[in-house]
Amino acid sequence: MLSYALIGGIMYGLYFGLVGMGLNLIFGVMRMINLAHGDFIMLGAFLTYWLYYLFGFNPLIVIPISIVVFLVFGFLMYYVFVPKLLHSKDPEMLSFILFFGVSQVIEAIIILFFGNNQISVPSTIFAKLFNVSTFTLFGNTFPISWLVVSVACIVAFVLIYVYFFYTKLGYATRAIMANRHEALVSGIDVNKVSAIAFGVGIAAASLAGVMGFFMIGAAFPSMGTDLTTISFTIIVLGALGNPLGTVIGGLIYGVAIMLMQTYFSSWTNVLPYLLLIFVILIKPEGLLGKAVRNV
């Protein structure tokens, strides 16, 4: 029981690290709260469903498609909303309201086109592809799809890490995170770099949506709000603006959820919220964070 919960929790946690990743990137770079984050996860899921039923695409093929589509989408979205918001008196609070509006619009459009239904892609799809349906780790048996998702998440983390720490673009992005004005003064094209980071954030969210069917089950138009809150828990658990922190936050969250489901299943829903309040009150800068917020 315990080893199942722990190992399953780690795989779950890797996935949840990916769920929080996009939100953390956007918050870190723009100091803005993308309340529509969960809705982009939902969009990724609907894209996967649509391509699967229309063309029979395997989710693994959908991954590059969704990355390109949402990267461009996020890039354009940045230019529509963010520069204007930054001119207002209180961008942080206003972004809250604005992106809530965006999330409602996304949800409404999806409901208009697909109806207010649950959708899913059969979880046996990877079993058919690889001709194995389960795998065994330390005497516990897990579905093969979990392994596929875990590997995909690790690849995504490595890519984001490389982008962040080993490219010129990532260097500029980190400069903006440290101080937007000083980055501007030192000749960085702040808007372009931020727009790319915004796109990467949205693309990471959509990737979590592509993988979502195999970890969190069916997708539905209003799933966004809960996912956004869960993502917040994860990035606050780690550290805001630190991608490595998000992975660790995800792992803690995944293991905690699995343990909760094993031992107190009826109270699982409350856990993310209580965990979030607890962490935010005890250590608002996150487990890996440096103290930045004054109280």
The residues of the shown chain that bind another protein, judged by CB under 8 A, are 33, 81, 84-85, 88-90, 92-94, 96-98, 100-109, 111-112, 225, 229, 232-233, 236, 266-267, 269-270, 272-274, 276-277, 280-281, 284, 293-295
Question: CB of residue 163 vs another protein: minimum separation in angstroms?
Answer: 25
Which contiguous run of DSSP H or E holds residue 137? strand 134-137
Closest by Cα among 20, 61, 10, 276 to 160: 20
- CB closer to another protein, 104 vs 133: 104
* Closer Cβ to another protein, 48 or 95, answer by number: 95
Cα–Cα distance list, 136 to 65, 130, 173, 179, 213 (Å)? 31, 15, 41, 47, 21
Instruction: For residue 238, give the DSSP letter.
Output: S
CB of 107 or CB of 208, closer to another protein: 107
Which residue reads 């999806």 in tokens? 110
DSSP 8-state secondary structure symbol assigned to residue 95? H
Minimum distance, C-beta of residue 186 to another protein, in the bound complex (Å)? 27
Identify which of residues 104 and 120 has a Cβ nearer to another protein in the complex.
104
36 vs 147, beta carbon nearer another protein: 36
CB of 265 to another protein, least distance (A): 11
Shortest distance (Å) from residue 50 CB to another protein? 20
Using CB atoms within 10 A of its CB, is residue 29 exposed (0-12), middle (13-18) or buried (19+)?
A: buried
Question: How far is residue 115 CA from its own chain's centroid?
Answer: 24
- Nearest distance, CB of residue 258 and another protein, angstroms: 18
Give CA–CA dist 169/172, Å, rounded.
Answer: 5
Partnered with residue 136 across adjacent β-strands are: 141
Shortest separation between residue 4's beta carbon and another protein, angstroms: 24
Q: Which is nearer to another protein, 1 or 295 (CB)?
A: 295
Six-digit token pair at 127?
Answer: 């079993």
